[in-house]
């Protein structure tokens, strides 16, 4: 678990122009994963909520989400520095310290994921993994939109999966909305663009 006490106690210390540098932070593979996951999650959610009645495409986007998540787990151990889970796995004290200082109206220039952002990554990946996995077991009794693993569980479990999958779809929407709100907060309040680095891979950070 990473210790960020030094950076958190003075998150903007030494943030003058001569103490900043723009470096490559997000690798191309991670950036492709990020945008691919975004497209697949949005597509699966819209299809799940608004149809068509035959959910073939919804299922395929769900499979794609599971495949992407499996890749992200692997990349979290063997990928470059900032893609690795150990790089943004912070303890509760570190997270609390960051939260208390995050409302300063200036960029944080944090290298990689900050403690709160790192926690959010784990929450997002976990929610999506549970949501997509539950979808494999659904059986809505229409004999059409049946999950590929539904036949391996009881009828009660299949019914439970239907309700849980529907509930989790709104949890996913809430998490995505929170993500968008955080990006907006950093942009409007702190003057920090979090979208551009995920496109270019480059981010302005404090020199070490």
Domain count, the chain: 1
Give tens-digit pLDDT for 65-103. 999 999 999 999 999 999 999 999 999 999 999 999 999
7 within some domain: no
Q: Which string of DSSP letters, residue by residue, matches 91-139?
A: -HHHHHHHHHHTTSSS----SSS-HHHHHHHHHHHHHHHHHHHHHTT--
Structural domain includes residue 5: no
For residue 117, give its domain range. 27-200
Q: Are 62 and 149 in contact (CB under 8 A)?
A: no
CATH of the domain at 87: 1.20.950.20
Q: Is the residue at 145 inside a domain? A: yes
User: According to the model, what pLDDT value does residue 9 have?
Assistant: 41
Per-residue pLDDT, 2: 74
Residue 98 within a domain: yes
Residues with Cβ within 8 Å of residue 33, at least 6 apart in sequence: 68, 71, 72, 75
Q: Give the whole-angstrom CA distance, residue 57 versus residue 63.
A: 10
- Residue 142 pLDDT: 80
Instruction: Report phi then psi at 161, rounded to 5.
Output: -60, -40
Residue 163 forms part of a structural domain: yes
Does any domain span residue 44?
yes
Looking at residue 152, the DSSP 8-state letter turns out to be G
The answer to the question of residue 16 being in a domain is no
Task: State pTM to two decimals.
Answer: 0.89
């Amino acid at each position: 678990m990473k210790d960020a006490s030094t950076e958190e106690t003075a998150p903007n210390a030494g943030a003058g122009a001569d103490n900043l540098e723009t470096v490559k932070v997000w690798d191309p593979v991670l950036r492709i994963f990020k945008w691919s996951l975004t497209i697949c999650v949005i597509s699966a959610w819209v299809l799940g909520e608004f149809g068509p009645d035959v959910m073939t495409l919804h299922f395929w986007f769900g499979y794609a989400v599971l495949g992407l998540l499996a890749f992200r787990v692997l990349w979290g151990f063997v990928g470059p520095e900032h893609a690795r889970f150990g790089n943004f796995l912070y303890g509760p004290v570190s997270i609390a310290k960051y939260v208390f200082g995050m409302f300063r109206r200036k960029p944080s220039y944090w290298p990689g994921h900050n403690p709160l952002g790192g926690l959010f990554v784990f929450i997002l990946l976990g929610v999506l993994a549970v949501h997509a996995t539950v979808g494999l077991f659904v059986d809505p009794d229409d004999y059409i939109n049946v999950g590929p693993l539904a036949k391996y569980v009881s009828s009660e479990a299949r019914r439970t999966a239907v309700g849980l999958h529907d509930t989790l779809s709104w949890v996913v929407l809430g998490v995505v909305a929170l993500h968008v709100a955080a990006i907006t907060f950093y942009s409007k309040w702190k003057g920090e663009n979090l979208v551009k680095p995920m496109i270019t891979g480059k981010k302005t950070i404090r020199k070490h």
